[in-house]
Amino acid sequence: MHAPGTDFLPTINSIKYLRDCLPESGSKLVKDLTTFHIFFSSKHIPKSVPKPDAVLNTPYNCSLPPPYFNFSSSQLYKTQKKFDVGRNIARDSALTNYILASDIELYPNPGLVKKFLDMVSRNEDYMQRKAPRVFPLSIFEVDANVTVPKDKTELQEMLRTNKAIPFHKRVCASCHNVPKAKEWMAANETDDLGVFHIGKRNGVYVHWEPIYIGTNADPHYDERLSWEGKSDKMTQVGNFYIRKLLFLSLGTLFNQSPKNG
C-alpha cells in the first residue's frame, strides 16, 4: 500500500479497522489471509513511523466509522501512485512458487487455486521445462448489483444478457484483447483445467496488458512507471516479448471486476 506523507496514518487506521472491526468472520479472514506491505518514497517520509508490533498492540476503536469512508481524493497526499513498486514488493514477499499479481479490484473466480495446482501436477514434466511461460486470465466486468458468477457457464449467460462485458471494453479494448477470446467465450466449461491457447504478445495483440499467473522468475514491473501514465504493465510485458515468452491462456479461469455505469 502506497502511503506517503500524511497518507500514512489513515492507511494504518484503515488496516487496523479491517483487522479488528469487520462483522462476522471478516476480520479473522483478514488476519489469517492478508499481508499488508506499506511503502513510500524517501522523499515523502511520514513524520512518524512506528514499529509494526507497536501498531498491532493498539486496537482500533470499532465504535468509530471506517477511516476510509467519506474520504475524498482531495484529502490525499499529492504524489504519483507507484503501483508497480507495490506489485514488486508483494511478489518478492510471496511464499509460494506461483503468483497472481492481480489488481485489487479484480476477483479470481472460485476454485482458481485448486484447479490451477491440479493442472500443474498433471503436467509436471512440461512445467519443468526451462522455456519461460505465464498463464494469463481472461478478465470481465460484471454489474455491481448482480451476484458474481461462480463458474464460466454463469459468466457466459451474463455476457449473453449484457450483465458482463470484457474488461475495459469501453476504455481500452485493445489493452485486454486476449488471443482467441471469442473462441474461449464460446467454448463449454470443462471439469478439469487445461491450456486453451498458446500465443505471444505480437501483431494485433501488441498492446495487450495481461493479468497472469507467473513466478518470481518473471521480470519485475518497471518501477519508473506510474498509474498516471496509464500503461503501467506495458514495459514489463515488453520484456516478456524480448524473451519470446509463451502466454498459455487457461480454459476456465477468469478474473472479474465490478462494472461501473
Residue 51 CA to residue 42 CA, distance in Å, equals 17
State how far the alpha carbon of 152 is from the alpha carbons of 107, 140, 210, 221, in Å: 14, 11, 19, 30
CB 175 within 8 A of CB 181: no
DSSP assignment of 214-243, as one string? Answer: EETTSPPP-TT--GGGT-TTHHHHHHHHHT
**pLDDT at position 229, please?**
53
pLDDT of residue 58: 87
What pLDDT digit, counting tens, does each position of 133-170 carry? 888 888 888 887 888 888 889 989 999 999 888 888 88
Instruction: Give pLDDT, residue 233.
Output: 60
Going from N- to C-terminal start, the domains of the chain cover: 7-79, 97-256
CA gap 218, 133 in Å, rounded: 9
d(CA 180, CA 184): 6
